Homo-oligomer: A and B are copies of this chain.
Amino acid sequence: MIHAGVDVKRIGIVGGTGYTGVELLRMLAQHPEADVVCLTSRSEDGSAVKELYPWLDHYSSLAFEAPNLERLAACDLVLYATPNKIAMTEAGDLLAADTKVIDLAADFRFKDQALWEQTYGGPHAAPHLLAEAVYGLPEVHRAAISQARLVGNPGCYPTASTLAVLPLVEAGALDLNTLILDGKSGASGAGRSARTDLIVAEASDNFHAYAANGHRHGPEIAHQLTQISGASATVTFVPHLLPMIRGIEITAYASTSLSLAEARSLYEARFADEPLVSVIPAGAHPETRWVRASNRCMIGLYQQRPGQLIISSVIDNLVKGAAGQAIQNMNLMLGLPEMMGIPAHPVSP
């Protein structure tokens, strides 16, 4: 884990016991210029990484330790793989110590404090940092991320959704108030939780919607579309639970005057230089296994009636939807090549 080079970056991870944390560990194990030097968990203080994750014996000596700001402040960058409302209490101190911060939870995804407080409940602990924090979607905010000290890593559904409609929004070709997003996620999106409704006997060979009256990722998507377009956006968003491990698919129903051919040209031009976003050939449909365990996003375009474009967008919720995007942001923030250590080759079958 300790590289010979002088420039290896020192990385801290707070809360490495969930799926986002273990994905960060998997990716950093193969990152040539970043080492995990501090890994904290209140519940697993003292446990070796390879005890919890026998398959990560790359980390032969790394162990979880109790949260300790001083140890974290000695890192170049700290990744928060914690529940909401943790990073916002500590980010200020780390920034003051010249340590950069990426929060994989929702604390720094909104510019609008009131909207955040309404969506997540209770006061924000660091409202003064909201203006500075950058939304970590490199395809939109790459330059700002490169300069950022503090990044709010996007949610999984918002990543797939925003990329699905980004060219339309930037081109002013999307009706910002009738967008419908029908989302589906693999069960890893619910986290490593001992919940009866997630066990194989209940959740495999099964499918259902959830939070159909409103899910927190709805406001996040609308807020981001507002940021990008400069005009107020709203969305209807319904998530569903898939009987599988990894993968998100968003089917977007977008009001636009563009024809299918015009939309295709627009999308292909917009993503031509994006290394991780592909517009697939006409008539094909992107499959979640085509991005499995990779940082990719694949997008297909369809039309059934004039005035409406249908977009299908797939990502791996744990990678481009979480840990992979965080490493991409980390690379940008630390001046490393953006794709360094990023899993680019999906595992399929």
- A245 contacts the other chain (Cβ, under 8 Å)? yes
B304 and A218 contacting across the interface, CB-CB below 8 Å: yes
- A173 contacts the other chain (Cβ, under 8 Å)? no
A243 and B240 contacting across the interface, CB-CB below 8 Å: no
- Residue-wise interface mask of A (239-270) relative to B, using a CB-CB cutoff of 8 A (1 in contact, 0 not): 01011111101010100000000000000000
- A328 contacts the other chain (Cβ, under 8 Å)? no
A245 and B204 contacting across the interface, CB-CB below 8 Å: yes
**If A55-B296, A209-B300 touch, does A242 touch B245 (CB 8 Å cutoff)?**
no
Bound-complex Cα distance A58 to B276 (A): 11
**If A201-B19, A245-B205, A285-B210 touch, does A253 touch B253 (CB 8 Å cutoff)?**
yes
Which parts of A22-53 form the interface with B (CB within 8 Å)? 22, 26, 29-30, 53
A102 CB to nearest chain B CB (Å): 21
A200 CB to nearest chain B CB (Å): 4
Which of A92-100, A161-169, A305-313 faces chain B?
Answer: A305-313
A48 CB to nearest chain B CB (Å): 11
Bound-complex Cα distance A12 to B206 (A): 30
B56 and A345 contacting across the interface, CB-CB below 8 Å: yes
Which parts of A297-349 form the interface with B (CB within 8 Å)? 298, 300, 302-305, 308, 310, 312, 314, 318, 344-349
A286 and B208 contacting across the interface, CB-CB below 8 Å: yes
A315 CB to nearest chain B CB (Å): 12
Bound-complex Cα distance A280 to B243 (A): 22
B202 and A55 contacting across the interface, CB-CB below 8 Å: no
Measured CB to CB, the nearest residue on chain B to A202 is: B349
- A193 contacts the other chain (Cβ, under 8 Å)? yes
Which parts of A153-178 form the interface with B (CB within 8 Å)? none
> Which 10 residue pairs across A and B have the least CB separation, nearest first?
A187-B200, A212-B302, A208-B287, A55-B346, A182-B182, A188-B201, A198-B199, A55-B290, A201-B349, A206-B289
A residues at B contact (CB < 8 Å): 19, 22, 26, 29-30, 53-58, 180, 182, 184, 186-188, 190, 192-196, 198-210, 212-214, 218, 234, 236-238, 240, 242-247, 249, 251, 253, 278, 280, 283-294, 296, 298, 300, 302-305, 308, 310, 312, 314, 318, 344-349
Known: A192-B202, A213-B302, A236-B308. 6 other contacts (CB 8 A): A26-B346, A206-B289, A209-B285, A209-B302, A212-B251, A240-B249
